[in-house]
Chain A
Amino acid sequence: AQSVTQPDIHITVSEGASLELRCNYSYGATPYLFWYVQSPGQGLQLLLKYFSGDTLVQGIKGFEAEFKRSQSSFNLRKPSVHWSDAAEYFCAVGAEERKTSYDKVIFGPGTSLSVIP
């Protein structure tokens, strides 16, 4: 069965420091992967996605992620964190439901990011 793990429940970084959020997935076929961000009380915003091709993916707000098949990982990075980046971050894997031609998106448990000014 498909699954997503995010080993860090909560991370605190200082403003201006670099950031890496970890994500590991379990999926039998070639996965396609997402990172979403959610500010308190808000909906989810897509930061970036990986479907195929270049394993280093650039997203919005200065984020990037690297797909490593050998490690089943899709870690999110940002070189310099801003106070406005404080939010909940969800890694997700898309799994095709063949009978319906629909993709079920499986979310990881999330990592809460706090930023110290």
Chain B
Amino acid sequence: DTEVTQTPKHLVMGMTNKKSLKCEQHMGHRAMYWYKQKAKKPPELMFVYSYEKLSINESVPSRFSPECPNSSLLNLHLHALQPEDSALYLCASSQFGTHNEQFFGPGTRLTVL
């Protein structure tokens, strides 16, 4: 299984809502990532988890809260978002260590009203 799955595919939320994005992989990868991608732009790294521990936080606002409950799952909890947070949110995973390719999920299209 070389697939990264993400749910939901689309999400519309108000600025006062709390929602969560989910990512799952069963490739035995111990590094998992969240990226944000605006239209016509490359993905921007948000968070990196290594062995279920947060390794990298690219100065992301606290209204985005990641969680890695186990080696296969990665969540992104959303609260009090702004309209400018509307984007495609991509999850990726890879083997731990250097020189490894990242496998991407299909993304969650988020719209904040």
Contact = CB atoms under 8 A, between A and B. Distances in A.
Interface string A73-117: 000000000000000001000101100111111011110100000
Interface residues of A, number: 26
B53 to A, nearest CB: 10
Contact of B104 (A43, A51, A97, A101): A43
Contacts of A51: 99
A103 B103 contact: no
B59 interface: no
A32 B62 CA distance: 32
Given A42-B107, A100-B55, A104-B45, A34 B50 contact: no
B106 A43 contact: yes
Interface stretch (B11-19, B36-44, B70-78, B79-87): B36-44
A104 B109 CA distance: 24
The number of chain B residues touching the other chain, given as a range, is 20 to 34
A112 B96 CA distance: 31
B106 A96 contact: no
A35 to B, nearest CB: 11
Given A32-B99, A46-B101, A102 B56 contact: yes
B111 to A, nearest CB: 13
A33 B41 CA distance: 19
A32 B98 CA distance: 10
Interface of B: 4, 6, 31, 40-43, 45, 48, 50, 55-56, 88, 90, 92, 94, 96-107, 109
7 contacts: A36-B104, A43-B6, A43-B105, A43-B106, A96-B98, A102-B98, A103-B100
